[in-house]
Structure 1
Amino acid sequence: MSRRSKIILVIITVLFITVLIWLGKKNKENIVTYDTEKPFKATIEKKAVATGRVIPLEEVDIKPQISGIIEKVYLEEGVIVESGDLIATIRVVPNVQSLNSANGIVKNAQLTYENAKIQYDRNKKLFDKGVISGQDYENSLLSFNNAKQGLNNAKSDLDIIKRGTTAGLGRTANTNIRATTSGMIVEIPVKKGYQVIQSNNFNEGTTIATIADMTKMIFEGNVDESEVGKLVKNSNIEVSIGAIEGKKFPAKLNFIAPKGTEENGAVQFKIKADVFLDDTHFVRAGYSANANIILEKKDSVLSIKESLLRFDKDTEKPYVEIKTNENDDFEKKNLELGVSDGVNVEVLGGLKENDEVKVWNKASKEK
C-alpha cells in the first residue's frame, strides 16, 4: 500500500471514529428523564370575583324649598349632624311678577281693612246709643277682624316672596336649610354665592348637602352572566377594599338583579351585599372594592395541579401520563375532573393516590 493510501485510510478512520463519538453524545442528549408528582388531598374553592364599590346604605339629599342664592354655609363635609341642625341659609331673589302681584294683593287688603274699620267704628257708636241691634254690631266686628287678618296674611306673603321668611315662622323658615336626618355630611356641592333651585313636582332641585349613615355600608358591584346563575341570596361573601390592604370584611349577599346590562359586549348583573364593619377601620363612601363569592367548595378531595393536564386533540378530553416502571416509561390516562380553582383541580376518576404523574416540559435534575 502506498504512503498516500495509508494517509487517506487514517483520515477516513479518524472521521469515522469522530462521527461515532458525536452520534453517541447526541443519543445520550435525547434521553430525558422527567420529574413526577403524586396526587394530593386539597380543599378546592371555585370563586367568582365581583368588582364594584362600597357605598352607604342610606343617603339623603338635602334640597331647598325655595329658589335663591346661597348666603352662608355653616358646616363642612365630614361633620356629624342631628336632624334639624342648620346647614346653610339662602337669600331669596324675588320673581318680579310674583312681587308685583303680592304688592297688589296687599294694597287691596289695605283698602278692605280701612273700609271695614270705618264701618265698625260707625256701628260701634250706633250700638252704644242703642240705635242698631247687637247682631248688626257683631257682623261689623267680624268683617273688621277678617279684613285685619287678610291684611296681615297679605303682608306675610309679600315678606315670604321678598325674603323667603316672615315674622313668626321661626325654625320653619324655608330660607334655612336644615338636616332632615342624622348622620355624616359626605358632600356639600355648593358654596356661598351659588344659585339654587327649589325642589318641586317639575324639578328635582339643587342638592345643598348629602347626609349618610356611615355605620351601615353596602357593597355594590357587577357579576358576569356566566356566574350569576350560581349565586345564592343571603350567602356569605368577603369584600376586599383597595384602600385598606390585608383586610377582608365579611358581608352577606342580599340582592341579585333580575335584569342585566350590556357593558363592552358582556352582560353584567348588579349585586348588593351588607358589609359588616369593625371599629378599627373607617370606610369612606365610594371606596373601590372586590367581592369574593364562593360558587362551589370541595373539602379534602383528590387533586392535581392543572399544569399537569393535557387535552386530546381529537376528543378534547383531559389526560395525564403516569410512570409505569423504573425505566421512565409513561402511560396515558384519561381523567374525569371536578371543581377547579385555577391552580388545582379535583380528580374524580382515572388516577390513584400513589400514581406518579409526569411533569410536562420539565426535565429532572439528573439531566
Structure 2
Amino acid sequence: MTTEVSLSPISGPSAWRGDELAGSTEWIYVLGDAERAELEEAGRKFVADDPDLRTVNAADYPLDAARGLIDECARQMDAGRGFVLVRGLRTEEYGDALAGAIFFVMGLHLGMPMEQNQLGDVLDHVIATSNKTLDDPGALPSRVRDRLPFHSDSSDVVALMCLRASKEGGASSLVSGTAIYNEILRRRPDLAPLLFEPWHWDWRGQDPDAPADTYVSPICSYVDGIFSTYAGSSMIFSAQKYDGVPQLTDAQVELLHLYDEISQEQGLALDMDFQPGDVQWLLNYAALHSRTEYVDWPEPERRRHLLRLWLKRDVGRPLVDGFGKNVVKERGAEEQKPVEGGAFRIAAAVVPNQDWGN
C-alpha cells in the first residue's frame, strides 16, 4: 500500500460536475417490473418474519431478479460516480412498514447496517419534528428544515428513501469531493497539501456518548491511486473549543472557508428532487451531501419524511490509517447490548421519534 499526496488533478468518473449530469438521467436507475416485484415480495416476507434489525442478514432474503440492481449500485459507489438514485418503488401504495422493509433488504445486500444514534437504532429518519433551526442549541441537522452545509456522514455508505416529499424545496444536493479538490488545487496549490494533514474533529458533537472529545483524520486520502474525501468544516471548527486541541492556523482557516465556498458554487453540485419511492445510495468517500431548505405541508402526516441507513461496506478500499469514518464506525461492530428506547422491529422503526431533536 502506497500513501501519497497528490498535487496533480484527479481524473475518473468520481470527478463529475453537477451541471454536466443535470441534463442526463445516467445517474438514475429505473426499476424494471421483475425487479420491483421481487423487492416487494422480499419486503412482504420481511414484514411477516418481523426479524430483529440488528441481527438479520442478506442471506435470509435472497435476490435474483434484482441482482443486477444491487450490482450496479455497488459498481457506481465503489468505482463510478459514487452515487446512484433508484426510482420506481410504489411507496405510496405500500405503507411505511413495507417500504422500510424493502429499503432495509436492499441495504443488507450492499453492506452492514450501523447504529445511528444513542438508542442503537439502525434505521433512522430525516424529518422535521419541531420548528428549530440549525442556530438553535442542540438542533439535529436531520430534524430541521434549513439548508445543510455539505458534509460526510459517519459510515461508508449513507442511503435515503423518500416516503413523502416536501411542499417546496428539500432537494438532495451532492457534490464530488474529487471536483472540489481539483478546484482547490487549481486556485490555491499552496493550500492543497494541508488537506492530507491531520485535523481534529468534534467527536462529542456528533455523539454525546463518544469516548473522547475529538478524533483525528485528514480531509483527503490518496492511497494506491485511489482518492477519498472526508469533510465537514463545522465539526473541525467546533473541535476548537476543547482543551488540548491545537488552534487552527490562518492557512487552515482559509482552506476550510475556501472548501465550503467552492462546494456551494453554481454548477458544481447536483440537486435532485426526491419523489416518493426514490432511494439514493451514496459512498461517503466519493461525494459530500446536503439538502436545500424546504417548506413542509401543514398536516403532520404529510411532512417530508426520509428513511436513512448507514452501512459499513468493506470492499478493501485503500485509505490512510485512521481516516475519519474508520474511527467512528467501529461502534457499529460492538456486541449487541440492551438499549432502552431503540426500535429494532420494522413496524416500530419506520415511525419517527417525535421527541428526537425537540
TM-score normalised per structure 1: 0.16
Larger RCO (alpha carbons 8 Å, 6+ apart): 2
TM-score normalised per structure 2: 0.16
Larger Rg: 1
Higher strand share: 1
Higher helix share: 2
